[in-house]
Amino acid sequence: YSVTHKADGQRKLLVFHTTGIWLVMSPYSLNRISKKIIPTLTGTILDGEYIPINKRLEGAPKTNIWYLAFDCLAWNNDNSIQKQRHGNRMNHAQVVTDLFKSNLLYINTKNFIISWWLSI
């Protein structure tokens, strides 16, 4: 098992699409946050938390959109990544944070504690 701190945000998908970059929360919330198309990330979907400005602690990013990724659901139009271990999926999420730089959107990956003794 792995656990992470729950930030005071809203769960949303971050979708890199041929029409731009979207924040999606089902069933009806679709917000295109940028028309920018990044060919190396198109078809990539991250699962995470959008942290509104009024919920951020001191020292948090000042960008309009701060996104904390906690999983990668698709990589370049391939959802078979979901069959991989969580650590591998988080490595892909980290690649997104390394590739994507913007004054509008700041992406971080969340840190996890892995616990082999934790049981539910």
Q: Which domains are present in the chain?
A: 2-114 (3.30.470.30)
CB atoms under 10 Å from CB of 41, counted, come to 21
CA distances from 96 to 8, 29, 61, 72 (A): 22, 23, 17, 10
Distance CA 97, CA 100 (A): 5
- Residues 49-106 pLDDT 10s: 999 989 888 888 888 899 999 999 999 999 999 999 988 999 999 999 988 888 889 8
- Entry pTM: 0.86
Token digits of residue 64: 């309009």
